[in-house]
Amino acid sequence: MYGSASTHDLPTTAVTGLENEDPILLAEFEARIARGEKIEPGDWMPALYRKQLTRMIEQHAHSEIIGSLPEGTWITRAPGFRRKMAQMAKVQDEVGHAQLLYSAAETLGKTREQMLTDLINGKSKYSNVFNYPTPTWADSNVISWLIDAGAIVNQLANAKGSYGPYCRALDRICAEEAFHLKYGHDAVVHMATGTPIQREMMQAALNRWWPAIMTFFGPSDKMSVHTEILMRWKVKMASNDECRNQFLDMYVPKIWEIGLTLPDANLRKNEETGQWEFTEPDWEDFKRVINGDGPCNAERIAVRRAAEENGAWVRRALLTPKTQYVRPLA
Amino acid sequence: MDPKLDLLYRLADDQLILGHRNSEWNGLGPILEEDIAFSSMAQDKLGHSLALYTLLHELGEAEPDTVAFTRNAPQFHCCQLVELPIGEYDFSLTRHFLFDHAELLRFEALATSSYEPLAQVARKLRGELKYHALHANTWMKRLGTATEEAIERMQNALNFTLPYALGIFEKTEAEAEIISSGLFIGEDELRSRWLESITKVLSQTALEVPDILALTPVAGGRYGQHTEHLQPLLDEMAEVFRLDPTADW
- The pLDDT, as a whole number, for residue A222 is 86
Q: Residue B50 in contact with residue B66, Cβ under 8 Å?
A: no
The conformation of residue B245, written as its DSSP 8-state character, comes to: T
Inter-chain residue contact B26 with A318, CB threshold 8 Å: no
Q: Is-contact A59 A122, C-beta < 8 A?
A: no
By Cβ distance, the residue of B20, B30, B88 closest to A315 is B30
Q: Using CB atoms, which residue from A88, A304, A306 is nearest to B42? A: A88
Which of A72, A78, A195 has its CB closest to that of B27? A72
Give the domains, in start order, of chain B with CATH numbers. Answer: 3-243 (1.20.1260.10)
**Which residues in chain B have their CB less than 8 angstroms from residue A307's CB?**
27-30
Q: How many CB pairs under 8 A join A and B?
A: 133
How high is the pLDDT of residue A6? 44
> Would an 8 Å CB–CB cutoff place B148 in contact with chain A?
no
**Other Cβ atoms within 10 Å of A205 Cβ, number:** 23
Query: Mind telling me how many Å the CA of A271 is from chain B's nearest CA?
Result: 37
Q: Is the pLDDT of residue B226 over 70?
A: yes
DSSP assignments along A312-327, one per residue: HHHHHHH--TT-----
- Exposed/middle/buried for B27, CB within 10 Å: 0-12, 13-18, 19+? buried
Q: Are B122 and B131 in contact (CB under 8 A)?
A: no
Integer distance in angstroms from the first to the last C-alpha of chain B?
Answer: 32
Q: What is the mean pLDDT of residues B60-70?
A: 97
User: What pLDDT score does A226 carry?
Assistant: 58
Q: Taking the CB of residue A280, how many other CB atoms lie within 10 A of it?
A: 9
What share of chain A has pLDDT > 70, as a percent? Answer: 92
Mean pLDDT score, B91-104: 98
Neighbours of B113 (CB within 10 A): 23
* Cβ contact, residue pair A95, B28, below 8 Å: no
Nearest to B240 among A77, A190, A318 (CB): A77
d(CA B95, CA B84): 9
- Closest residue in B to A316 (Cα) is B147
- pLDDT given at position A64: 96
Chain A nearest CA to B236, separation (Å): 6
What long-range pairs does B200-206 form, CB within 8 A, spacing at least 24? B201/B97, B201/B101, B201/B137, B201/B140, B201/B141, B202/B140, B202/B144, B202/B158, B204/B141, B204/B144, B204/B145, B205/B140, B205/B141, B205/B144, B205/B145, B205/B151, B205/B154, B206/B144, B206/B145, B206/B151
- Verify whether the Cβ–Cβ distance B247 to A75 is below 8 Å: no
The DSSP letter of residue B206 is S
B146: nearest CA partner in chain A: A317
Main-chain phi, psi angles of A195, to 5 degrees: -75, 165
| Contact yes or no for B32 and A99 at CB 8 A | yes
Alpha carbon distance A140, B28 (integer Å):
19
pLDDT of residue A319: 87
Nearest CA-CA distance, residue B62 and chain A, Å: 14
CATH topology of domain A6-318: Ferritin (1.20.1260)
Please report the DSSP string for A12-64 in residue order: TTTTTTGGGS-HHHHHHHHHHHHTTPPB-TTS---HHHHHHHHHHHHHHHHHH
Q: Do A79 and B24 touch (CB under 8 A)?
A: no
Percent of chain B with pLDDT over 90: 98
Distance (Å, rounded) from C-alpha A262 to C-alpha A254? 12
Question: What's the distance, Cα to Cα, between the start and end of chain A in Å?
Answer: 22
Listed by start position, the domains of chain A span 6-318
Give the closest of B23, B26, B149 to A316, CB-based.
B149
- Rounded distance, CA B168 to CA B157, Å? 17
Give the one of A76, A85, A195 whose C-beta lies nearest to B24's C-beta: A76
B134 contacts: CB under 8 Å, gap ≥ 6: none
Output the pLDDT for position B21: 98
| Chain A residue with Cα closest to B239 | A77
- Per-residue pLDDT of chain A (330 residues), as tens digits, is 555 544 444 444 445 678 889 999 999 999 999 999 999 999 999 999 999 999 999 999 999 999 999 999 999 999 999 999 999 999 999 999 999 999 999 999 999 999 999 999 999 999 999 999 999 999 999 999 999 999 999 999 999 999 999 999 999 999 999 999 999 999 999 999 999 999 999 999 999 999 999 999 999 988 866 578 889 999 989 999 999 999 999 999 999 999 999 999 999 999 999 999 999 999 999 999 998 899 999 999 999 999 999 999 999 999 876 666 677 766
CB of A44 closer than 8 Å to CB of A52: no
State the nearest Cα–Cα gap between A231 and chain B, in angstroms. 32
Quick check: ipTM above 0.85? yes
* 96-135 in chain A: CB under 8 A from chain B: 96, 98-99, 102
B237 touches chain A (CB under 8 A): yes
With beta carbons less than 8 A apart as the criterion, state whether A75 and A91 touch: yes
Residue B59 pLDDT > 70, yes or no? yes
Which amino acid type is present at position A40?
Answer: E
- Dihedral pair phi/psi, residue A163, rounded to 5°: -95, 115
Residue A17 is predicted with a pLDDT of: 72
Q: Is A88 helix (H, G, I), strand (E, B) or coil?
A: helix
User: How far is Cα A126 from Cα A129, in angstroms, rounded to an integer?
Assistant: 9
Tell me whether residues B247 and A312 touch, CB distance under 8 A: no
Dist. CA B9–CA B53, nearest whole Å: 8
Asked whether the beta carbons of residue B33 and residue A99 sit closer than 8 angstroms, the reply is: yes
- Do B230 and B79 contact (CB within 8 A), yes or no? no
Indicate yes or no: CB of B46 within 8 angstroms of CB of A95.
no
Q: What is the pLDDT of residue B84?
A: 98
